[in-house]
């Protein structure tokens, strides 16, 4: 892909523990087409896709290994994945993170009161930014607590429940998903009967491997699987760049 004066967006679909795929995608773009990341107008995401802009692959691996501990892993009452993510964000984000993110990062949220999607792009403080990211990752009934996450005097839950790929309908948006489908960067996989489904704006081919990926999204796999997923993300991003003239 050649550099262009046109504006473009990048949108990451929510995908739980499949986020390791994004680490490979990001590494490829950073190494081979850094202008895509530096010049992007809007970085959009739902759930774990929204975390991609601030989390590092090493930390993802560490937290995934922790999530595998015990019989129930990430859904065990004693394991609080959101707390781990919050602690990491508090520790590693700079104090002016909200200023750097405002107007550029768009976080997808689902309002509890009416199920409406809300895109948040302005943040009053670092804590406000962290709260938005945590809200976007709060998948009801998956976590041990049944209490809803609060933000800005409203109750919000996982953004993937209403819009799992913000701005995907715009032609200048590069869509990225770890599910094989019609996204710009995604794994190759032929659908059964040439059919696919759209889960809140994310194209997903109907096949066995995608069904397996849905399971992995909620239950973290072995480290070897995560490593392979990361490598595949790099390869798919490289193929995208090659097909678009890089």
Catalytic residues: 47, 158
Q: On the CB side of 111, how many CA atoms lie within 13 Å of its CA? A: 10
Query: Given the DSSP bridges, would you call strands 196-199 and 9-12 parallel, antiparallel or unpaired?
Result: unpaired
Nearest to 13 by CA among 164, 159, 133, 139: 164
Is residue 84 within 8 A of residue 64, CB to CB? The reply is: no
Q: Annotate 99-148 with DSSP letters as a single string.
A: HHHTTTEEEEEEETTT--EEEE---SSHHHHHHHHHHHH--TTTSS--PP
CB neighbours of 214 closer than 8 A, spacing ≥ 6? Answer: none
């Amino acid at each position: 892909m050649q550099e262009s004066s046109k504006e473009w967006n990048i949108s990451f679909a929510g995908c739980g523990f499949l986020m390791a795929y994004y680490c490979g995608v990001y590494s490829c773009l950073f190494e081979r087409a850094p202008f895509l990341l530096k010049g992007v107008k809007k970085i959009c995401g739902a759930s774990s896709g929204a975390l991609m802009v601030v989390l590092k692959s090493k930390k993802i691996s560490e937290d995934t290994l922790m999530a595998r501990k015990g019989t129930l892993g990430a859904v065990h009452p004693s394991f609080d994945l959101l707390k781990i993510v919050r602690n990491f964000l508090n520790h590693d984000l700079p104090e002016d993170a909200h200023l750097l993110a405002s107007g550029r990062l768009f976080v997808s949220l689902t309002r509890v009161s009416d199920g409406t999607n809300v895109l948040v792009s302005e943040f009053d403080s670092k804590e406000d930014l962290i709260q938005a990211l945590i809200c976007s990752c709060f998948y009801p009934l998956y976590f041990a607590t049944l209490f809803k996450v609060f933000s800005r005097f409203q109750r919000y839950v996982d953004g993937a429940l209403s819009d799992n790929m913000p701005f995907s309908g715009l032609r200048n948006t590069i869509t990225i998903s770890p599910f094989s489908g019609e996204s710009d960067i995604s794994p190759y996989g032929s659908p059964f009967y040439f059919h696919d489904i759209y889960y809140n704006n994310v194209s997903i081919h109907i096949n066995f491997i995608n069904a397996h990926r849905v399971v992995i999204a909620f239950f973290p796999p072995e480290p070897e699987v995560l490593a392979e997923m990361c490598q595949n993300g790099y390869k798919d991003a490289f193929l995208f760049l090659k097909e678009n003239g890089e």
